[in-house]
């Protein structure tokens, strides 16, 4: 990792919200493409998924999802469940940030896609009793749409349609289906 990127990465731990937010935006932008330094920070990010700070948990989850494309050792296959655990975080905003990024892991390869699709389908089904069920389900369906847009894989669309059909509330079924209207 070059010194400029290291400085940005280090600023992810800043107590200053503005500094941290700017660093997160920049590091997510940098990791939109493959990077050669993923394993320099991988274990630290995994540990941060359990940090006492919800900001650090959210940042770690989002960054690990972005780094999945740079994971030549396929560590995410074993580590994805730790990321998925954050989708049930005590702080809903943290859970949502993580959930909204999980599709990026699926976009990193077919094996990961299968794992992520299975976990997201389970998360969709298991969310029915949660306070923010409709937001969780919307984020999952939206993530599947984003994955479909980059992967152009009909199995992704088929899963989304199957999950949407299980929604009991017609209002939300229509809302979720609206994400797919132009496909």
CA distance 183 to 175: 15
Note the pLDDT tens digit of each residue in 85-126: 999 999 999 999 999 999 999 999 999 999 999 999 999 999
HEC assignment per residue over 27-58: HHHHCCCCCCCHHHHHHHHHHHCCCCCHHHHH
For residue 147, is pLDDT > 90? Answer: yes
Q: What is the pLDDT of residue 178?
A: 96
How much is the average pLDDT of 115-141? 97
Residue 67, CA atoms < 13 Å, CB-side half-sphere: 27
CA distance 147 to 100: 11
For residue 87, give the nearest of 155, 156, 27, 135 by alpha carbon: 135
Note the pLDDT tens digit of each residue in 55-92: 999 999 999 999 999 999 999 999 999 999 999 999 99
SS3 content of the chain, % helix, strand, coil (to 5): 75, 0, 25
- pLDDT level of residue 183 (50, 70, 90 thresholds): confident
How much is the average pLDDT of 115-140? 96
Beta-carbon count within 10 A of 169 CB:
12
């Amino acid at each position: 990792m070059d010194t400029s990127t290291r400085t940005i990465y280090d600023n992810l731990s800043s107590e200053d919200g503005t500094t941290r937010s700017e660093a997160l935006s920049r590091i997510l932008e940098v990791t939109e493409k493959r990077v050669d330094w993923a394993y320099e920070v991988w274990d630290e990010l995994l540990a941060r998924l359990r940090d006492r700070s919800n900001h650090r948990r959210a940042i770690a989850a989002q960054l690990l999802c972005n780094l999945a494309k740079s994971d030549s050792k396929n560590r995410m296959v074993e580590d994805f469940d730790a990321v998925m655990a954050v989708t049930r975080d005590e702080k809903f905003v943290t859970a949502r940030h993580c959930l909204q990024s999980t599709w990026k892991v699926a976009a990193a390869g077919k094996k990961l896609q299968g794992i992520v699709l299975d976990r997201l389908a389970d998360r969709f089904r298991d969310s029915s009793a949660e306070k923010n069920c409709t937001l969780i389900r919307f984020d999952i369906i939206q993530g599947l749409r984003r994955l479909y847009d980059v992967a152009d894989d009909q199995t992704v669309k088929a899963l989304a349609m199957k999950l949407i059909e299980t929604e009991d509330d017609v209002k939300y079924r229509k809302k979720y289906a609206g994400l797919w209207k132009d496909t």
